Amino acid sequence: MNAESGFEIKPVYDREDVPPGTEARIGEPGRYPYTRGVYPTMYTSRPWTMRQYAGFGTAAESNARYHQLLAAGTMGLSVAFDLPTQMGYDSDEPIAHGEVGKVGVAIDSIDDMRRLFHDIPLGKVSTSMTINAPGSVLLLLYQLVAEEQGVPGTALQGTIQNDILKEYIARGTYIFPPKPSLRLVADTFAYCRAEIPKWNTISISGYHMAEAGASPAQEIAFTLANGVEYVRAAMAAGLAVDDFAPRLSFFFVARTTLLEEIAKFRAARRMWARIMRDEFGAKDPKSLMLRFHTQTAGVQLTAQQPEVNLVRVAIQALGAVAGGTQSLHTNGYDEAIALPTEKAARLALRTQQVLAYESGLTGTVDPFAGSYAIEALTDEVEAAATTLMERVFAHGSAVEAIEQGFQKREIETSAYRIANEIDSGERVVVGVNRFTLDEEEHYEPLRVDPAIEAGQVARLAELRAQRDTAAVEAALADLQKAAGGTDNVLRPMREALRLRATVGEVCHTLRGVWGTYHPVERF
């Protein structure tokens, strides 16, 4: 049997498969090279943060779902934004028509952010926001709303994804070209160090590359290569590595290939620790720690026999926990069909709670350490990923490799191989190419009301009629000036948003200075 990364999984592993000195390479939990976890006690002192990714329709509807999740025991919120918000457009722009509130919540201004977190204590809740090109804009809106609650930026905890490089590789919700995008990321690092010091300023993401077809080795190789690019950009902007590296975080997928996934997480920690110590000279132990959030693999969920996805998600979650994740989102069993229903979201959370409180996994650190199979697979994944990273940097940098289409081609080749294995039956997908039903039972998915768009458009019209237009225009002019110079753009951006400038207006101001990115297809 072959691993998704391409190497062979042997029927039997023994001590001959594990190199001499393996104990030193494994190390101890909470110590370099962090193979066994970033904290000495891991889950024995407290379980991972249980997040549930949610957001749909209006801010008020999403707020109601967040209250339900918190009541059910969710420990942190994770916000899904609709496509116009992710692309930096307002809900009343022609390009947004038909997409408002569909794949996440529509956020056009500080008014929407207030509704989204109404009666949610932002000083006590950790919030993750899946937002990239306009990540700084949504973070500033969150900070402004928290301050209205009386919560200072120094008390806020959470993460913005803010990983623009993977958008060019696998996802596509980019706005600006790579160079100004990296400047915006570096400005966010510097702003948060001063204003929101507990915030994770980026979640360097392999998840979306995996959803596009990347193998586990490709996922961590391309993700860590992007991480290197962000570190270089921040240092080039004048930041000392230990001033920002402790707030870097990562985001990976958890597939059903349990052993390879556990090995992948352990290999990624070891690789990042070595990179930060040896290549960048980081001294703070926190700069060496690869802390990461995990989401179970949406791409592996099936619309056929959707209840079977409960089993898949449980196995995937087990891999994430055994691999040492810091937080976890478990997908709803019906997500291959539509947005998850309330019942599906609750069952997804219960899956994590069973693992945390009934499985015994939290009673020991890195329970698979020392397994011949796991240690050998960890070395295999690390070797394959290291070779791939060397191929990335042979292009000069991760950005230059992206511009030449290297990562995208490699992922597409992997996706094609896996698809062929499924089509031929070599790789079994239960309910799809084996153990199928003659007739699937009817399933009624959660649907987003198209009237949501009209309501959002009306609220925008009301906002523009009520606000001080001259003050907004002056603030946007200050933002434009900063974008064209070298000042940190987040400070004038914050003032514009406080005055009720919209997400689209802020992003259009930056488009006017920085331009937009248009990919060049290379064959």
- What residue type is 496 in one-letter code? A
Q: What is the pLDDT of residues 46-90, one digit of tens each?
A: 999 998 777 888 999 999 989 998 998 887 888 999 999 999 999
- pLDDT of 69 reads 87
- pLDDT for residue 523 is more than 60: no
Q: What is the pLDDT of residues 197-231, one digit of tens each?
A: 999 999 999 999 999 999 999 999 999 999 999 99
**Total domain count, the chain:** 1
Secondary structure in 3-state letters for 37-60: CCCCCHHHCCCCEEEEEECCECHH
CB 363 within 8 A of CB 42: no
| CA neighbor of 500 nearest in space, from 469, 479, 474 | 469
Q: How far is CA 115 from CA 112, 134, 141, 260, 364, in A?
A: 5, 19, 12, 42, 41
Residue 281 located in a structural domain: yes
Q: What is the pLDDT of residues 303-343, one digit of tens each?
A: 999 999 999 999 999 999 999 999 999 999 999 988 788 89
- pLDDT of 111 reads 98
Residue range 457-476: average pLDDT? 97
- pLDDT of 76 reads 83
Residue range 478-497: average pLDDT? 98
End-to-end CA distance of the chain: 32
Residue 471 located in a structural domain: no
Task: Between 345 and 267, name the one with better pLDDT.
Answer: 267
What is the pLDDT confidence band of residue 511, given thresholds at 50, 70 and 90?
Answer: very high
What is the pLDDT confidence band of residue 7, given thresholds at 50, 70 and 90?
Answer: confident
What is the pLDDT confidence band of residue 18, given thresholds at 50, 70 and 90?
Answer: confident
Phi-psi region of 411 (alpha: psi -120 to 50; beta: other; left: phi over 0): alpha
Domain range for 398 is 15-297+308-424
- Alpha carbons 262 and 257: distance in angstroms, whole number: 9
Task: Between 76 and 112, name the one with better pLDDT.
Answer: 112
- pLDDT of 438 reads 87
Q: What is the pLDDT of residues 371-391, one digit of tens each?
A: 999 999 999 999 999 999 999
* Nearby residues of 513 by Cβ (< 8 Å), 6 or more positions away: 180, 480, 483, 484
- pLDDT of 521 reads 64
- Alpha carbons 159 and 130: distance in angstroms, whole number: 8
Residue 442 located in a structural domain: no
Burial class (CB in 10 A: 0-12, 13-18, 19+), 9: middle
Residue 482 located in a structural domain: no
CB 217 within 8 A of CB 384: yes
Which segment of 75-79, 85-89, 147-151, 497-501 scores lowest on mean pLDDT? 75-79
Residue 205 located in a structural domain: yes
The percent of residues in the chain predicted with pLDDT above 70, rounded, is: 99
Residue 175 located in a structural domain: yes
Q: What is the pLDDT of residues 23-52, one digit of tens each?
A: 777 889 999 999 999 999 999 999 999 987
Which segment of 9-23, 167-181, 315-329, 489-503 scores lowest on mean pLDDT? 9-23
Residue 279 located in a structural domain: yes
Q: What is the pLDDT of residues 395-432, one digit of tens each?
A: 999 999 999 999 999 999 999 999 999 999 999 999 99
- pLDDT for residue 522 is more than 60: no
Q: What is the pLDDT of residues 233-280, one digit of tens each?
A: 999 999 999 999 999 999 999 999 999 999 999 999 999 999 999 999
Residue 431 located in a structural domain: no
- pLDDT of 21 reads 79
CB 368 within 8 A of CB 29: no
What CATH number corresponds to the domain at position 110? 3.20.20.240
